[in-house]
Amino acid sequence: MIRLAIQKSGRLSDDSIKLIRECGISFLSASSKLKTEATNFPLEILFLRDDDIPGYVADGVADIGIVGQNVLVEEGLQQLSVKNLGFSKCRLSLAVSKGAEYGDITSLEGKSIATSYPNLLQEYLTSKGVQADIHTISGSVEIAPSIGLADAVCDIVSSGSTLISNGLREVETVFKSEAVLIANQNLDAEKNKLLKQLLFRMEAVQRAQK
């Protein structure tokens, strides 16, 4: 039996479930349940917060997982990456209030920026030689400028509708992301065999979609 962690609800959830089903794996998914077993493959599925998935896979609580590269790289666990999955594409971007003056990245010198991705943001600012005050918050980042918490935000953009509905304007791309399959690095022989079988099926699904 191999244990897979996927996002419980969010941008990755539907496409993660779709990929598993396209691999020919059947399971019941009640939205209230945090755990389910496949009926035709030795697979257990855990439904978790995406931010928790890399840590659980690193610790071996889950054997494998599907997460965004944004979360994986922010947490410094890119060594767990096995395969890019090509869905849930998004970008980590800097955004300012619609009316704010902005020329280039140096406009953020000395300003405060709210984000849930302090490491990716710091690396980007350092590469540009800009010093800013990073406020790490775990959610509702988009609201920060309008309540006076920060001058700018650095958050995930997919369709862009969250930015628009909060009166924000995207000004820089910090990191590009897509879903990735990750695995614990000390899987036993049986789990490794199951992972190989899953990879084989995923590659067939990807080939069929091209």
Binding site for ligand PRP (CB under 6 A): 10-11, 50, 155-162
118 binds, among Zn ion, ligand PRP, none (CB under 5 to 8 A by kind): none
> Residue 3 or residue 91: which is nearer to ligand PRP going by CB?
91
Pair 77, 185: CB distance under 8 Å: no
Question: H-helix or E-strand containing 75?
Answer: none
Min dist. Cβ of residue 177 to ligand PRP (A):
9
> Residue 2 or residue 53: which is nearer to ligand PRP going by CB?
53
Min dist. Cβ of residue 178 to Zn ion (A):
15
159 binds, among Zn ion, ligand PRP, none (CB under 5 to 8 A by kind): ligand PRP
Q: At what angle do helices 13-22 and 189-209 cross, to 10 degrees?
A: 100
Is 155 a binding residue for Zn ion by CB under 5 A? The answer is no
- Strands 112-115 and 133-136 come out as parallel
> Residue 75 or residue 155: which is nearer to ligand PRP going by CB?
155
Structure tokens at 49: 């917060």
Pair 47, 34: CB distance under 8 Å: yes
Min dist. Cβ of residue 75 to ligand PRP (A):
13
Min dist. Cβ of residue 117 to Zn ion (A):
10
Min dist. Cβ of residue 131 to ligand PRP (A):
25
> Residue 69 or residue 184: which is nearer to ligand PRP going by CB?
69
Give, as ranges, the residues between 36 and 65 that touch Zn ion (CB under 5 A).
50-51
How many residues sit in the footprint of Zn ion (CB under 5 A)? 2
Report the C-alpha gap between 120 and 132 in whole angstroms. 13
Which residues have CB under 8 Å from 77's CB, separation 6+? 54, 55, 57, 58, 182
Report the C-alpha gap between 43 and 41 in whole angstroms. 5
Please tell me what DSSP assigns to residue 187. Answer: -
Pair 202, 85: CB distance under 8 Å: yes
> Residue 51 or residue 63: which is nearer to Zn ion going by CB?
51
162 binds, among ligand PRP, Zn ion, none (CB under 5 to 8 A by kind): ligand PRP
16: three-class secondary structure by DSSP: helix
Q: Report the interface residues with Zn ion, using CB under 5 A.
A: 50-51
